[in-house]
Structure 1
Amino acid sequence: MRLLITLFFALTSFWGFVQEKGQITIVGRVVDTDNIPLIGATILDTITKKGTTTNKQGIFYLTLPKQATTIYISYLGYYALEKKMTRTEIDQSKKDTILLAISLKPKTEELTEVEIRAANIARTYDKPSTLILDYDFHPEGLFLLLSEGNQYKLRLIDGNSNTLKDIAIRNNPEKLFRDCFGNLHILYADTVYQIYGDQSDLSLLNGFPIRKFEEYLLPCVAAYDDVLFFEDYGLHNQSIIYYLIEKNSKKKKLVQKIVDKESFTAIDDYYRETMAEAGIAPSTVGDNSLAQQDFARKVEKKVWFYQLTLSRPIYNPLCKVRDSIFIFNHIVDSAFVLNEQGELQRTFPIDYQYKNGWKNEIIIDYSGEEIYVKCVRGGLAYLLQIDPDSGQVVNEFKLKRHVFPDKIKVRDGFAYYLYNEKMESGRMNIYRQKIK
């Protein structure tokens, strides 16, 4: 993926730094090629030898003399990057602040894949003419969302890859989605279809609009017989509120509010400044000068950057584990365990989010008993098993055959995942590896 260095953080008014004369502050964010923040990346000024590291959001601040220099950015398992800062660039900086977005490339992205023969790794479904789009678990085996020739299908297979049931479906499905009640759905750009029945009578219920799904069903994150838990993101997606609703009384109760105050303040300033500039651009429609074209293009870039990067939701998930509610609050480095009434039972510290390669992904196994977090180091995925009582990492499992596996799920001591077979015209296959 091409290195992204854009005008990320037109953070010129974000923090309102007051510089001493002859100094400049560099404010930046370091991410990987998937736009995941790299925590603890090393930032070094090659002239003064002054350095710092990135915080939990991948952000760094470095105050330096107002002179030309080169900034060296490095992170274990990634290619280092040198960013030259010219005197002209420094002199033209707004409010003595230079804003950077740095993307580091994993070292293994350019390596040739090495085939590792291992008895505990195998293709779960091996049909050369089949393109697998997504999958999920079924008590009898697996659901596969796939395409064969020009026909899209939902297929149920058993543990030996035998087809138990096929359903012809509309073209171009996007993915499978399991809701808070455990029901499985096929999602399209405009419609959602619930999968209903067992292998002898498998069917799809009538579809309903994606907007209704996103409004009513998607926010539900956990369910009990009498209580439902919901999530609601705040402005710029930098806060999240968890609340419950009692089914009978319809009573609503706040469970927890999580706010990334630092990111919110920065992004809110950026948003206000960008929207103000966007309001100026349309007023000069008749002006077709190069200067106006350049200004409109810069505004468009800033709006795009806000929508696709800055406003990405914070990751502090609520999960149902061992019939309790776990809230993983990465802002305060703690997990909160609640009962089904939303009452706090206990807390414990968490630090897996500082592990090398943490990818903002928590995986609860199919039984709902085990917790795993995903890390990627050198392109290989690692599953760190977390003790639900202490929050400590008790095991680490390496998915050792394929780089950048996708849609990892765990069941009965096996990790399942999709992998893009570059040697087979980019066909997606589903694999499983024994991890216990």
Structure 2
Amino acid sequence: MKTLCILGFLVSSWLFVSAQKQSMKIYGKIFDAATDSTISNAYIKIGEGKAGVSSDKNGNFSFIINSFPLKITISHVAYEEQKIILHEPAKNGLKIQMKPSSKLVKEVVISSEKVQNLTKKKLFAVNDYEFSGQDILMLVYDYNFSEKKNPWLVLMNSYGDTICKNFIGKDGSLFKDCTDQIHLITKNEAWQIFIDEKKITLAHPTEKKAFFNAMEPCIASIGTNYFLKKYSHGQQVLNYIIANTNDTSYETMRVIADHAGLKMLVSRNRFFAMGANPPTDADLRFEEMCFSGPVFAPLCRLDDEILIFNFVDSKLEFYSPEGIHEKDILINFHKSSHWKEEIISDERCKKVYTLFVRDGISSLREINLENGKLMQTIKIPKFKFIEKIKINDNKLYFLYRKTASDELKAIYVMSLE
């Protein structure tokens, strides 16, 4: 059912694109004029109206028009606004360079401490966070305001400076989908979050169950290809499916089965067939937790490559953007003591890490994608039981509260260079 829901979503997207074929597509990429790095979340206003689009995490943007000439206005909170008049489509797309705003230039002091508290000077309790390009979107409880005036969505840069914030008054969590769109998940609804022109807004509320039925199976996307996950046979078989929005086709890309878990299910069914009392719901939950957990073989995207960490068969599998199998390398680090079932990717730097936890202290090990071996240990000192570990642009981020009674859970950052 989940697969049908997401395919319905993909088909709708395809039909929308098909209806626009008679129009002209304008596309391009936005760069920092000083560093030549790409700029995400820049806003491109189309014409004199309110319509516009935002650049994605790689600085890319596109939109459809019907005629020329056309004026576009490019803006970003950290850069000077730029206006361009288009008279014809650019043959190889637009390359737009933006100058950093002099209003935001400030001296950066490098701390002697390895780990820094990014929200140290703010009375924030950080409930959740996700990356929006190189910036950080947080769901926070701001102790400068009363309970009725909370929580807030706050966008902060990697130095801890607040870019913009908005009161939302809705408790919940953040969810980033396979197209890198961020959503606010409340008790009963899912809201899409838009970050444009120095403000954060919520739009398109969807019933929570329907949203997850459609979006949760989708793990990654490359162009028009979407990679979906589906469990079967008591979660002992994991199916990865590739769906294409151009022709609405889909096919199974990979099937990974835990044969030991399947044998356990067969033995259980034989036992029930012999006339034993059927298990209670509590029995089944205990069995799933202790004996037959779901197959753990996470898929992740690194640039234009798909990786499947097949821990069932002890190998790392590489696939093309079209889902074509390219190569395997053997892995065995998951058999080490204190290893946790967690794979953390840094897509900007094309690196992947795994996690070890001992006595509450977390350690990261980078995975060598050439031979499957682990590289040096990156220990996170003096911080026990950290939460929501993420890596972006060679920096490690996590949530932590100093004591169990401390209400101010903060975001910490640690350079991995």
Q: Same fold (TM over 0.5)?
A: yes
2:113: which partner in 1? 119
Q: For 1:133-167, what per-residue CA distance to the aligned partner results, in whole angstroms no more than 9, with x for missing partners?
A: 11122235211111124111111112332322212
Q: For 1:303-342, what per-residue CA distance to the aligned partner results, in whole angstroms no more than 9, with x for missing partners?
A: 4424655554221011111320111111110111010111
Q: Which of these residues, 302, 305, 315, is aligned with residue 334 of structure 1?
A: 315
**Equivalence map 1:140-155=2 (5 Å):** 141-148=135-142, 149-150=146-147, 151-155=150-154
* C-alpha contact (below 8 Å) 2:349/2:394 kept by paired residues: no
How many equivalent residue pairs?
302
2:186: which partner in 1? 188
- Looking at structure 1, the residues matched to 252 and 240 of structure 2 have their Cα atoms a distance apart, in angstroms, of 6
TM superposition shift of 1:378: 2.3
- Looking at structure 2, the residues matched to 209 and 309 of structure 1 have their Cα atoms a distance apart, in angstroms, of 33
- Looking at structure 1, the residues matched to 272 and 288 of structure 2 have their Cα atoms a distance apart, in angstroms, of 11
* C-alpha contact (below 8 Å) 2:398/2:413 kept by paired residues: yes
Q: For 1:96-150, what per-residue CA distance to the aligned partner results, in whole angstroms no more than 9, with x for missing partners?
A: xxxxxxxxxxxxxxxxxxxxx9711111112563211111222352111111241
**Equivalence map 1:302-341=2 (5 Å):** 302-306=283-287, 308-310=289-291, 312-341=293-322
**Equivalence map 1:362-401=2 (5 Å):** 362-367=343-348, 369-401=350-382
1:209: which partner in 2? 207
Rate the CA distance shift 1:193–1:271 in 2: closer, same or farther, 3 A.
farther
- Looking at structure 1, the residues matched to 162 and 272 of structure 2 have their Cα atoms a distance apart, in angstroms, of 54
Q: For 1:372-416, what per-residue CA distance to the aligned partner results, in whole angstroms no more than 9, with x for missing partners?
A: 001112221111101122211122201112012111111222211
**Equivalence map 1:258-277=2 (5 Å):** 258-267=256-265, 269-270=267-268
TM superposition shift of 1:232: 0.4
- Looking at structure 1, the residues matched to 336 and 412 of structure 2 have their Cα atoms a distance apart, in angstroms, of 26
- Looking at structure 2, the residues matched to 422 and 199 of structure 1 have their Cα atoms a distance apart, in angstroms, of 38
- Looking at structure 1, the residues matched to 260 and 122 of structure 2 have their Cα atoms a distance apart, in angstroms, of 50
SS at match of 1:264: helix
- Looking at structure 1, the residues matched to 211 and 271 of structure 2 have their Cα atoms a distance apart, in angstroms, of 33
RMSD of aligned alpha carbons: 2.6
TM superposition shift of 1:169: 2.1
TM-score, scaled relative to structure 1: 0.64
TM superposition shift of 1:275: 11
**1:343 partner amino acid:** I
**1:240 partner amino acid:** L
* C-alpha contact (below 8 Å) 2:127/2:409 kept by paired residues: yes
- Looking at structure 1, the residues matched to 276 and 170 of structure 2 have their Cα atoms a distance apart, in angstroms, of 38
TM-score, scaled relative to structure 2: 0.67
- Runs of 5+ consecutive residues of structure 2 not aligned to the other structure: 1-110
* C-alpha contact (below 8 Å) 1:319/1:326 kept by paired residues: yes
Rate the CA distance shift 1:268–1:212 in 2: closer, same or farther, 3 A.
farther
- Looking at structure 2, the residues matched to 253 and 367 of structure 1 have their Cα atoms a distance apart, in angstroms, of 29
**Equivalence map 1:209-228=2 (5 Å):** 209-228=207-226
- Looking at structure 1, the residues matched to 156 and 175 of structure 2 have their Cα atoms a distance apart, in angstroms, of 18
Q: Percent identity?
A: 23
**2:234 partner amino acid:** H
* C-alpha contact (below 8 Å) 1:328/1:336 kept by paired residues: yes
**2:352 partner amino acid:** I
- Looking at structure 1, the residues matched to 139 and 275 of structure 2 have their Cα atoms a distance apart, in angstroms, of 44
- Looking at structure 2, the residues matched to 396 and 212 of structure 1 have their Cα atoms a distance apart, in angstroms, of 41
* C-alpha contact (below 8 Å) 2:230/2:240 kept by paired residues: yes
1:344: which partner in 2? 325
* C-alpha contact (below 8 Å) 2:307/2:319 kept by paired residues: yes
Rate the CA distance shift 1:118–1:269 in 2: closer, same or farther, 3 A.
farther
Q: Which of these residues, 228, 249, 252, is aligned with residue 251 of structure 1?
A: 249
TM superposition shift of 1:239: 1.3
1:177: which partner in 2? 175
SS at match of 1:427: coil
* C-alpha contact (below 8 Å) 2:296/2:312 kept by paired residues: no
- Looking at structure 1, the residues matched to 220 and 138 of structure 2 have their Cα atoms a distance apart, in angstroms, of 24
Rate the CA distance shift 1:189–1:311 in 2: closer, same or farther, 3 A.
farther
Q: Which of these residues, 319, 334, 340, is aligned with residue 359 of structure 1?
A: 340
- Looking at structure 2, the residues matched to 249 and 279 of structure 1 have their Cα atoms a distance apart, in angstroms, of 50
SS at match of 1:335: strand
- Looking at structure 2, the residues matched to 367 and 343 of structure 1 have their Cα atoms a distance apart, in angstroms, of 23
**1:257 partner amino acid:** V
1:136: which partner in 2? 130
* C-alpha contact (below 8 Å) 1:140/1:157 kept by paired residues: no
